[in-house]
Amino acid sequence: MKPIDLRMEGTHQGAIEIARNRIIFIIVLFTIGFLMLAVKLISIGIFQAHSSSYYPTVNSNGSLLMARADIVDRNGVVLATNLKAPSLAVSKRNLKSPPKEIATKIAAIFPEITYDDVMKILRNKANHSWIKRKLTPKQLYAIKQIGDPGLEISDAEKRIYPHGRLLAHVLGALNIDNKPLSGIEAYFDGELSDPAKSEEPITLSIDIRLQHILNQELSLYKEKFLALGAAGIILDVTTGEILALSSLPDFDPNDGKGPLSKVELNRILQGSYELGSGFKTFTIASGLDNNVIRQVDSYDATYPLRVGGFTIRDDHPKKRWLSVQEIFVYSSNIGTIKIAQDIGIEIQKEFFEKLGLFSKTKIEVFEKTSPQLPKQWGPTELATTAFGHGIAVTPLHLASGVAAMVNGGRLIPATLIRKDIVPAALLNFVSSKVKPDNTSRQVISSKTSEIMRKLLHFAVEEGTGKKAKVEGYEIGGKTGTAIKPFENKRGYDDKAVISSFISIFPINDPKYLIFAMLDEPQGIEETFNLISAGMTAAPLVGNIISRVGPLMGIPTTHKGEKEYDDFMLVSGTRK
């Protein structure tokens, strides 16, 4: 039996062929479309991803963010983070409304932008131009209401500093284009801007609670004494970690401009000052550690001393022979110079250099200055540097050096990074200039360090630092009242001083160092118009200790109990 051969002929066969061809054509179009889309996605993933160090990345919370890590304090409190901040641009080829109409509407939304400003932007040759960065939600809504396709909204981010001015000099700031200007932001920019590490915050040594205390007290005393500026630091003498650092006047890092004038510089790291009697700590320690002097040795401080054509006097003259202990406790310039003369130029220079007083600190910011050293070292320079004149250093130099005098003799580089949780990426950073320095070295013996603790304690108990006393705490400290040199001519201005006080507590088991200074404080009735450190900076530091001690759980001593009750201020005959 023959198979049935069914065939469609005529118009029916033609219709089926046409339908089949159309289906094949549609399948080919879809295939080409998918291939083009795949190529585009691969192109974006490979090439565009590497075109910018600030390309967006999806964080764990699902939001599209610039790849810049947070900065947090030692307890995890956020100090710098990112928030979405859309920006407005104009694409001239896509504008549908007349330029004058657009300019009028935009000027009405942004009071700081004039009609002429917008017209100038619309008339320039560039097709794409920025009009306003970092729009508020209200401004964004108003722009969208205009409805012109030529007004383009770009998703971007703004770096936010939740505590405002409080840590401006530590954190630094980013400009309007999210490029770092200063501080930690600039020093660790490579680490912070690495997209692969955007979820790994940098943990600072700063304790925001102590920062609040330091800043509040400095602000209060700056206003009280009508000072040009004020600055302070709280340092852990056992680790070198900076727990608080403040300099006034400061600036608002949220405005994207950074410091605008010289008065807003970081006085702790950039200010170079003759800090006065704080240097007597180093001179006495040098003499003791080099076996040049003993505690009971005495020097004649009866009369003023002539050095290099200048007459050196004591601010608190006793007009008698003073033991080494009394020279320090009563802050005798005359006695200190005579000790330095016995030490000699070479030994003194070597000791200062060992303390790091001849070079920049290694703190993790770029804004730091070198000490200003004598051009030559002769008898005059030996004498003046012994009590903190003729040599200008930053307050951090002084703080690090004094910390070494009390912590057993170890000079530990100061750091803004919390040491016990330093990220491996920071420790292995390629550039040595951004590698935290965790080294320390012995600069005086533990025996000399013990003597210096006793001397510093009695300088508060019986000497010029009495107003820094805080009931319940054993405190050591040293005043520093330094006359400022004229800016535009030689010589010193008797009416302008740097008043500072550096303290350590508890002095029997040193943990915290607190330094505070006032730049040109003015006399007030409360201090009988005196502007010395004992009347201005010492009570300022006392207030800080009274708040920091309880907060940090420092135990108090019983009333009347003294750690160094067998340490007497007595004069002896020098052998």
Pick from 476, 455, 449, 453: nearest CA to 545? 476
Round the average pLDDT of the chain to a whole number and report it. 86
Catalytic residues: 277
Taking the C-alpha atoms of residue 82 and residue 76, their distance in angstroms, rounded to an integer, is 16
Q: What is the pLDDT of residue 133?
A: 79
What's the mean pLDDT in 505-510? 95
With respect to residue 83, please indicate whether it lies within any of the assigned structural domains: no
Residue 175 confidence class, pLDDT cut points 50, 70, 90: confident
328 token code pair: 């320090």
What's the mean pLDDT in 462-489? 93
With respect to residue 440, please indicate whether it lies within any of the assigned structural domains: yes
**Number of Cβ within a 10 Å radius of residue 88:** 21
The residues near 59 (Cβ < 8 Å, ≥ 6 apart) are 65, 198, 199
With respect to residue 442, please indicate whether it lies within any of the assigned structural domains: yes
Taking the C-alpha atoms of residue 329 and residue 503, their distance in angstroms, rounded to an integer, is 14
Amino acid letter, 553:
G
Residues β-bridged to residue 485? 492
With respect to residue 220, please indicate whether it lies within any of the assigned structural domains: yes
Q: What is the pLDDT of residue 310?
A: 84
The residues near 542 (Cβ < 8 Å, ≥ 6 apart) are 467, 468, 469, 470, 475
Residue with tokens 């694409």: 91
**What are the φ/ψ torsions at residue 189 (nearest 5 degrees)?**
-60, -40
Quick check: 474 and 501 in contact, CB under 8 A? no
Omega of the bond leading into 249 within 30 degrees of 0 (cis): yes
With respect to residue 135, please indicate whether it lies within any of the assigned structural domains: no
Q: What share of the chain is helix, strand, coil (3-state, %, to 5)?
A: 40, 20, 40
Select the highest-mean-pLDDT range: 108-117, 155-164, 241-250: 241-250
497 token code pair: 């001083």
Residue 156 confidence class, pLDDT cut points 50, 70, 90: confident
78-84, strands of its sheet edge to edge = 157-160, 78-84, 71-72, 202-203
Quick check: 212 and 166 in contact, CB under 8 A? yes
Scored b (16 or more CB within 10 A) or e, 171-202 reads: bbbbeeebebbbbbbbbbbebbbbbebbeebb
**Number of Cβ within a 10 Å radius of residue 414:** 26
Omega of the bond leading into 98 within 30 degrees of 0 (cis): no
371 token code pair: 């000490």
Q: What is the pLDDT of residue 58?
A: 39
Residue 367 confidence class, pLDDT cut points 50, 70, 90: very high
Residue 553 has pLDDT above 90, yes or no: yes
Quick check: 235 and 414 in contact, CB under 8 A? yes
Residues β-bridged to residue 72? 78, 203
Max distance between CA atoms of the chain, in angstroms, equals: 146
376 token code pair: 């030559």
Q: What is the pLDDT of residue 571?
A: 46
The total number of structural domains that make up the chain: 1
Burial class from Cβ neighbours inside 10 Å (0-12, 13-18, 19+) for residue 523 reads: middle
With respect to residue 398, please indicate whether it lies within any of the assigned structural domains: yes
Q: What is the pLDDT of residue 48?
A: 42
Taking the C-alpha atoms of residue 514 and residue 276, their distance in angstroms, rounded to an integer, is 17
419 token code pair: 């040491």
Taking the C-alpha atoms of residue 221 and residue 219, their distance in angstroms, rounded to an integer, is 6
Residue 7 has pLDDT above 90, yes or no: no
Taking the C-alpha atoms of residue 125 and residue 217, their distance in angstroms, rounded to an integer, is 54
Query: What is the reported pTM?
Result: 0.80
505 token code pair: 């507590």
Pick from 442, 443, 444, 479: nearest CA to 459? 479
pLDDT: is 165 or 58 the higher one? 165
Residue 17 has pLDDT above 80, yes or no: no
Pick from 396, 391, 390: nearest CA to 367? 396
Q: What is the pLDDT of residue 127?
A: 86
The residues near 40 (Cβ < 8 Å, ≥ 6 apart) are none
What's the mean pLDDT in 354-369? 96
Residue with tokens 């700063």: 206
Q: What is the pLDDT of residue 356?
A: 96
Give the range of the structural domain holding residue 330, as residue numbers without chain letter.
211-551
Q: What is the pLDDT of residue 107?
A: 92
212 token code pair: 């609040």
With respect to residue 502, please indicate whether it lies within any of the assigned structural domains: yes
Q: Which CATH number do you get for residue 505?
A: 3.40.710.10
- Helix 345-354 and helix 333-343, axial crossing angle in degrees, nearest 10: 100
Residues β-bridged to residue 184? none
Pick from 410, 416, 414: nearest CA to 440? 410
pLDDT tens digits along 395-413: 999 999 999 999 999 999 9
